[in-house]
Structure 1
Amino acid sequence: MSARREATRQRLFEAAVTLISEQGFGATTVDQIAERAGVAKGTVYYNFAGKTELYTALLEWGIQRLAARLREAAATGPPRAALTEVLRAELAFIGAHEALARLLLAEAWRTNRVWYATVGQLRSEAIGVISGLLDAMAADGDLPEGIDTAVAGSALFGMAVTVALDWRTRAPDRPLDEVHATVERMVAGFLGG
């Protein structure tokens, strides 16, 4: 894909994420997305078959970016230490991309078969990073017995999303380090350490 086309798609993603997070998927039109992105309506259709395809590509793009950040953080050390770094990376990512996070929460889990694959991508690529670290901890004997790592990974991921959105909504001037310190203490309590 050319750099110019990629830049256009980026503008479309940014316009779509802003509009959809403000007014919802159903109320957002292709005309509005094109206008916000500063392109002709035909440009949207040149890049995507329609609004649903744009939205699906937007979610996939966002999930890939989030998962990449989480994988980078997971590679920082042993599983227990890496887990807290992954949660920190998630808080930072959501803090920087809160409209995208709101979009994921508001739209992706609706009963729409089009987005089931996208939710599966979120589970395998982003939540899977956390579950993978928990699996490694369990293999090392560093996790309490009987913990379902898939459920625990989803719970920790969801907790971090909720905390990040609450932080950005209610106390945006609060430093990330303070928010992360509280999350880190909670996870240490869960892990027994």
Structure 2
Amino acid sequence: MNVQTPEPSRRAGGRREATRRKLFEAAVTLISEQGYGDTTVDEIAERAGVAKGTVYYNFGGKDELYASLMEWGVTRLADTLREAVPEPEVEPRRALAEVLRAGVVFIGTHEALARLLMAETWRTNRSWYATVRQIRTQAIGVITDQLDTMVERGLTRPDLDTALAGSALFGMVVTVALDWRTLQPERSVEEIHTTLAHMADGLIGSPSSPY
């Protein structure tokens, strides 16, 4: 049997991605524990098990690493939500519920990363706008798409502001999930999701709802 050996460039690319992932995970852990300002490049490299120069080679410095980390985190979240979208024949309200559940599970699994992403939305430096915009277009966009489908099929109010409702639902997912992990970790994800789904139904309403 012939087994093709990966091309050198592909192997190098795979190693680099693995290194970047280790650096991201190390940075998430350290920054969530002690804050961005108190976390050094030396500490990130040590936690990731690489040389300090590796950080500079891959990112240029701590600020660039952090900006790339934010982009990576939002992409992971958005991909998770997108992958949760069922087949087109699935009833849209149920499809939306599956997307919201995926968000709860993601935040429960990657709590430190989620907290960093949410904290970034309140920062006032240059990276703030880029992160918020990426959350809006990628992560919240998945929710908004489901709401648009519901409006198109007459399954909710025709005047529903889907962009605003999408942001509201995303905020609910984040708040409920972090509250769950921080204050009520003994509750099951299904219990949390059921409550969230009921809240979502109340927000988006039905075709005949006057509000």
Q: Which amino acid aligns with 2:65?
A: L
Comparing 95-104 with 183-192, greater Cα deviation is found at: 183-192
Q: Quick check: which has more Rg, 1 or 2?
A: 2
Q: How far has the Cα of 1:3 moved from its partner? A: 2.0
1:14 counterpart = 2:25:
yes
Deviates more, 1:86-95 or 1:26-35: 26-35
The alignment status of 1:128 with 2:141, answered yes or no, reads yes
Q: Please tell me the root mean square deviation across aligned C-alpha atoms, in Å.
A: 1.5
Letter of the structure 2 residue corresponding to residue 106 of structure 1: A
How far 1:36 sits from its partner (Å)? 1.3
Matched residues in 1 for 2:35 and 2:194: separation? 33
Structure 2 equivalent of residue 165 of structure 1: 178
Deviation track 1:12-66 (CA, whole Å, cap 9, x = no partner) reads: 0011011111222222211111121121110111111111111111111111111
Counterpart of 2:79 (choices 64, 68, 75) is 68
In structure 2, list runs of 5 or more residues that go unmatched: 1-11, 207-211
> TM-score with structure 2 length normalisation?
0.86
Give, in angstroms, the shift of residue 145 of structure 1. 4.0
Q: Looking at both structures, which has the greater relative contact order when contacts are Cα pairs under 8 Å and sequence separation is at least 6?
A: 1
Higher mean Cα deviation, 85-94 or 112-121? 112-121
CA displacement, residues 52-88 of structure 1 (integer Å, 9 cap, x when unaligned): 1111111111111111111111234232111000000
In structure 2, what is the Cα distance between the partners aligned to 1:44 and 1:108? 25
User: How many equivalent pairs are there?
Assistant: 193
Q: What letter matches 1:30 in structure 2?
A: V
- Runs of 4+ more than 3 Å apart: none
Match of 1:80 among 74, 89, 93: 93
Instruction: Indicate the structure with greater helix content.
Output: 1
Secondary structure in 1 aligned to 2:173? helix
What is aligned with 1:41?
A: 52
Residue pair 1:56, 1:115 contacting (<8 A) in 2 also: no
Q: Normalising by structure 1, what TM-score?
A: 0.93
Task: Give the % identical residues.
Answer: 66
- 1:96-111 → structure 2 map (5 Å cutoff): 96-111=109-124
The answer for the alignment partner of 1:181 in structure 2 is 194
- Where structure 1 has 5 or more consecutive residues not aligned to the other structure, the ranges are none
CA contact (8 A) 1:25 1:107 kept: no
Mapped contact 2:41–2:62 kept (Cα < 8 A): yes
